[in-house]
């Protein structure tokens, strides 16, 4: 046997590794209220060196104090970044139209970040002990802040004519992303707990209310309620669109959109403009009933249009359609036919299309960045990038989703339940990826959960004799997270199940999982062998249910939309 000799440097290195490992372990068991050094606090973040440049030096504080400090610094940075974007836009004569479009997207996202950070800091600064469910709300906002920043950064990087903007904004984007990541990590370490409590459910006995709405005002013109409004009540109650019919949902106002002039408005945008601003869910929904027809509009539900509900005459009866695409000069973010930001949005019985076609590249039908938003019995029709589940918490029930490349993508915490997902025939040379989840940080509480859905081929893909390969998803970002559970997967899905993005990117950091699926495409014996791919059990799958993943028991009942909180 040969004799092994170890140098003094070897033992020193070993000592350092053990010391660092022990420090990590010790931090994990230190309560958030205990004081720790800056070094110890920063080791729990994805960017330790950057963290140390931000936090107060030469003084020990507890993790929650560090978290408050970092969120306050993040708010200041977000305001400065918005100012930088505005300076570029004030000198837009020196910029290409493509660069201006990107900056306008960044301005919208930066404004949201300021709102989210202000709300988060206000919550953290008001109490020393934050209940676990309120902590989940803040974690959701801090997760969305990173998503918003990443969206802006992505658009600047892919827009060739935005080089002037890219040179001036790359460093602030990078530094702010690190700062937001540090804030999220410190917050998660200090406030988010494994065991989640139960939030008080909405009071029972909500009724459809008309008494407060003798007149609906649009601008300065009073519009009296027509007989049609009463018909909506009868129509909704008779069809039992929602769980206990609409009579179980609190509605403050009802307006009708009808292209024949028999309603309150002839366009959806006018009805949205008439909705009150910043309402609370306890005041009820502003309900827009959209009579069947094809509406060629681009509709945006702004952040101040909260708790707005749209009900149509049914899939392929009430149709909202547009054709903006990257191929025709739009940004992906702003190509949406329907863009939603206002919290508490609900849509029922509506089809939303982007008809740009497979040759035009990214073309979004719906972009959803609205917290606590719900789509029920809706259809999303497009090709590449059909449904952009951008951020925050979302729920989709009994919807139809059609597309080709990455046609369910984004970084929301989202559950699809009892939906039909149809892969279409893409343009020549392309393959289909159903999902492209965009989680960029291990502390984000985001991901895509697909439960009791049907994964099938659309008619045009069937007609092509399946010359296109179709996959369950591919990793758009480093910590991409997608779960299929209790769903029917037809034979269109390749035996390997999942596709790479490029090379070995994210294969060890992603989280892709399957649980108790069925159908000819569900066999997992020939699935990918990536470190991040898992066939999970019921205990793990339960983490991705409505009740646990998006805390749906706290907010979906108010919408009246049917759902089940756990596994089947």
**pLDDT tens per residue, range 304-318:** 999 999 999 999 999
Do 341 and 437 belong together in one domain?
A: no
189-203, 330-344, 452-466: the lowest-pLDDT one: 189-203
Residue 310's pLDDT is 97
Q: Which helix (H) or strand (E) covers residue 99, if one does? A: helix 97-125
Residue 228's pLDDT is 39
Residue 24's pLDDT is 42
Identify the domain containing residue 132 by its residue range.
38-192
Query: pTM of whole model > 0.85?
Result: yes
| Phi (first) and psi of residue 249, to 5 degrees | -115, 135
Residue 408's pLDDT is 98
Do 467 and 561 belong together in one domain?
A: yes
Rounded distance between C-alpha atoms, residue 526 and residue 471, angstroms: 13
- Over range 143-166, report the average pLDDT: 91
Do 70 and 163 belong together in one domain?
A: yes
Do 427 and 498 belong together in one domain?
A: yes
Using pLDDT thresholds of 50, 70 and 90, give the confidence band for residue 466. confident
Residue 61's pLDDT is 85
Q: Is the pLDDT of residue 198 over 60?
A: no
- Over range 184-199, report the average pLDDT: 71
- Of 154, 253, 385, 406, the active-site residue reads 406
Rounded distance between C-alpha atoms, residue 227 and residue 293, angstroms: 20
Residue 391's pLDDT is 98
Q: What is the CATH number of the domain that holds 338?
A: 2.160.20.10
Residue 207's pLDDT is 39
As to burial, measured by CB atoms within 10 angstroms (0-12 exposed, 13-18 middle, 19+ buried), residue 503 is: exposed
Q: Is the pLDDT of residue 126 over 70?
A: yes
Quick check: is 8 in a domain? no
Rounded distance between C-alpha atoms, residue 544 and residue 449, angstroms: 6
- Tokens 């509009």, residue? 297
* Residue 153 contacts residue 145 (beta carbons within 8 Å): no
Highest-confidence range of 117-131, 207-221, 282-296, by mean pLDDT? 282-296
Residue 32's pLDDT is 64
Quick check: is 340 in a domain? yes
Report which of 420, 562, 538 is spatially closest to residue 487, judged by C-alpha positions: 420
3-state secondary structure of 190: helix
Do 169 and 310 belong together in one domain?
A: no
Q: What is the CATH number of the domain that holds 128?
A: 1.20.140.40
Quick check: is 336 in a domain? yes
Do 47 and 182 belong together in one domain?
A: yes
Token code pair at residue 474? 């591919």
More confidently predicted of 467 and 160 = 467
Which of 192, 224, 256 is the last residue before a domain boundary? Answer: 192
Domain count for the chain: 3
Do 560 and 422 belong together in one domain?
A: yes
Quick check: is 492 in a domain? yes
Q: Is the pLDDT of residue 512 over 80?
A: yes
121-125, 300-304, 399-403, 506-510: the lowest-pLDDT one: 121-125
Quick check: is 556 in a domain? yes
More confidently predicted of 338 and 196 = 338
Contacts of residue 429, defined as CB under 8 A and 6 or more positions apart, other chains included, come to: none
Rounded distance between C-alpha atoms, residue 288 and residue 158, angstroms: 37
Average pLDDT, the chain: 87
- Over range 527-532, report the average pLDDT: 98
3-state secondary structure of 397: strand
Rounded distance between C-alpha atoms, residue 446 and residue 438, angstroms: 9
Q: Is the pLDDT of residue 396 over 80?
A: yes
- Over range 263-268, report the average pLDDT: 96
Q: Is the pLDDT of residue 172 over 80?
A: yes
Residue 383's pLDDT is 98
- Per-residue pLDDT tens over the stretch 38-54: 899 999 899 999 999 99
- Over range 543-565, report the average pLDDT: 95
* Residue 561 contacts residue 243 (beta carbons within 8 Å): yes
Quick check: is 32 in a domain? no
Residue 30's pLDDT is 59
Quick check: is 185 in a domain? yes
Do 232 and 184 belong together in one domain?
A: no
The residues facing 413 across adjacent strands are 393, 447
- Per-residue pLDDT tens over the stretch 52-79: 999 988 778 888 899 999 999 999 999 9
Using pLDDT thresholds of 50, 70 and 90, give the confidence band for residue 206. very low
Q: Is the pLDDT of residue 4 over 50?
A: no
Residue 193's pLDDT is 59
Q: Is the pLDDT of residue 319 over 50?
A: yes
**Known catalytic residue: 553?**
no
Contacts of residue 452, defined as CB under 8 A and 6 or more positions apart, other chains included, come to: 417, 418, 485, 486, 487, 568
């Amino acid at each position: 046997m040969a004799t092994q000799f170890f140098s003094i440097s070897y033992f020193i290195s070993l000592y350092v590794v053990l010391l660092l490992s022990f420090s990590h372990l010790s931090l994990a068991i230190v309560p958030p209220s205990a004081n720790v050094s800056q070094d110890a606090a920063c080791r729990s973040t994805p960017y330790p060196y950057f963290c140390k440049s931000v936090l107060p030096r030469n003084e020990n504080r507890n993790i929650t104090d560090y978290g408050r400090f970092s969120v306050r610094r993040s708010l200041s940075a977000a305001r400065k970044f918005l100012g930088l974007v505005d300076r570029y836009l004030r000198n837009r004569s020196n910029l290409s139209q493509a660069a201006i479009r990107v900056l306008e997207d960044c301005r919208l996202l930066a404004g949201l970040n300021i709102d989210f950070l202000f709300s988060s800091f206000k919550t953290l600064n008001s109490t020393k002990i934050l209940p676990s469910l309120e902590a989940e709300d803040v974690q959701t906002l801090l997760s969305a802040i990173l998503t918003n920043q990443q969206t802006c950064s992505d658009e600047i990087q892919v827009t060739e004519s935005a080089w002037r903007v890219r040179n001036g904004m790359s460093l602030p984007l990078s530094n702010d992303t690190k700062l937001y990541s540090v804030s999220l990590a410190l917050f998660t370490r200090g406030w988010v707990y494994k065991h989640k409590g139960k939030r008080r459910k909405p009071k029972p006995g909500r009724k459809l209310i008309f008494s407060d709405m003798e007149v609906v005002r649009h601008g300065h013109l009073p519009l009296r309620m027509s007989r049609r409004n009463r018909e909506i009540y009868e129509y909704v109650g008779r069809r039992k669109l929602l769980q206990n019919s609409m009579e179980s949902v609190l509605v403050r106002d009802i307006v009708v959109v009808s292209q024949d002039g028999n309603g309150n408005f002839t366009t959806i945008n006018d009805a949205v403009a008439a909705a009150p601003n910043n309402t609370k869910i306890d005041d009820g929904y502003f309900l827009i009933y959209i009579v069947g027809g094809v509406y060629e509009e681009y509709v945006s539900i702004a952040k101040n249009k909260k708790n707005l509900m749209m009900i149509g005459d049914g899939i392929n009866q009430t149709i909202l359609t547009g054709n903006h695409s990257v191929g025709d000069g739009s940004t992906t973010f702003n190509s949406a036919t329907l863009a939603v930001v206002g919290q508490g949005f609900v849509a029922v019985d509506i089809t939303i299309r982007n008809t740009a076609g497979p040759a035009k590249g990214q073309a979004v039908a719906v972009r959803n960045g609205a917290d606590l938003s719900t789509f029920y019995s809706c259809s999303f029709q497009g090709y590449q990038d059909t449904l952009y589940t951008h951020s925050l918490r979302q729920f989709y029930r009994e919807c139809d989703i059609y597309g080709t490349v990455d046609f369910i993508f984004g970084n929301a915490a989202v559950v699809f339940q009892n939906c039909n997902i149809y892969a279409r025939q893409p343009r020549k040379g392309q393959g289909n990826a159903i999902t492209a989840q965009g989680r960029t940080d291990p502390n984000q509480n985001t991901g895509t959960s697909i439960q009791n859905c049907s994964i099938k081929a659309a008619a045009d893909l069937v007609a092509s004799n399946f010359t296109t390969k179709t996959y369950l998803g591919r990793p758009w970002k480093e910590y991409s997270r997608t779960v299929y559970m209790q769903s029917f997967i037809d034979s269109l899905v390749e035996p390997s199940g999942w596709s790479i993005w490029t090379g070995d990117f994210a294969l060890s950091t992603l989280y892709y999982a399957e649980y108790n699926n069925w159908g000819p495409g569900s066999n997992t014996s020939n699935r990918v062998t990536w470190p991040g791919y898992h066939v999970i059990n019921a205990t793990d799958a339960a983490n991705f249910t409505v009740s646990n993943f998006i805390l749906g028991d706290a907010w979906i009942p108010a919408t009246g939309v049917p759902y089940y909180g756990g596994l089947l």
